[in-house]
Structure 1
Amino acid sequence: MSVLSITFHTPADLIPAWTVFIENDLHQMAENLMDVEKYILSEVQSDMINEGKNTNLLLVFADDEKREEFLSLELKNIIERMEGKFGQDVMVFKTLLDPVKSRF
């Protein structure tokens, strides 16, 4: 199992448009990812976020090779679509997670 966490930080003034993007575009893109075994699309609740909003997409792959393929192809497509609507205003943070132990 190989896991990838992608966090999107959206400024406060873009939250209404971002919410529509999540519902219509990002959710559908996640549903259509062939190599993703499971995913969780979440709003991040944190006392550390004072401005804007964070959204997280947690993706589970069968192996590291599938995750790397996603990073080199699909993530670029997602970011391009996102930038087409929001420019550089939404920040993207990717975190590669390598489970040591799991009961998923």
Structure 2
Amino acid sequence: MALTTDKPIKSHSSIYQFIQACQEEILKKMEKAANDNKPRLMNPKEAAEATSLSRTLLTLMAAEGQFPKPVQLTERRIAFVRAEVEAWLDQRIAARQVAA
């Protein structure tokens, strides 16, 4: 939605709707900018915090193909791809909305 309007605003509800649309667009742009500053990878603790699932459960789910597989960084260090984890969360949210 554009931040400008060609029509004159005549009522309070129109003003409210216009302001609300502007605020939503600004918030989307701020969120995108905030996401652009995040590292591409997240450690298991961050993935657990983002999903509210335990690190152990995430590892088990990844092994079963129910969660994005981690990247092996070193012999003893793994990390999850942030975009994959966020996409997985988006799928879960979308599935909830469809089921409702």
Question: TM range, normalised to the smaller chain?
Answer: under 0.3
**TM-score normalised to structure 2 length:** 0.28
* Structure with the higher fraction of residues in helix conformation: 2
Q: Which of the pair has more CA radius of gyration?
A: 2
**TM-score normalised to structure 1 length:** 0.27
Q: Which structure ranks higher in relative contact order (CA pairs < 8 Å, sequence separation ≥ 6)?
A: 1
* Structure with the higher fraction of residues in strand conformation: 1
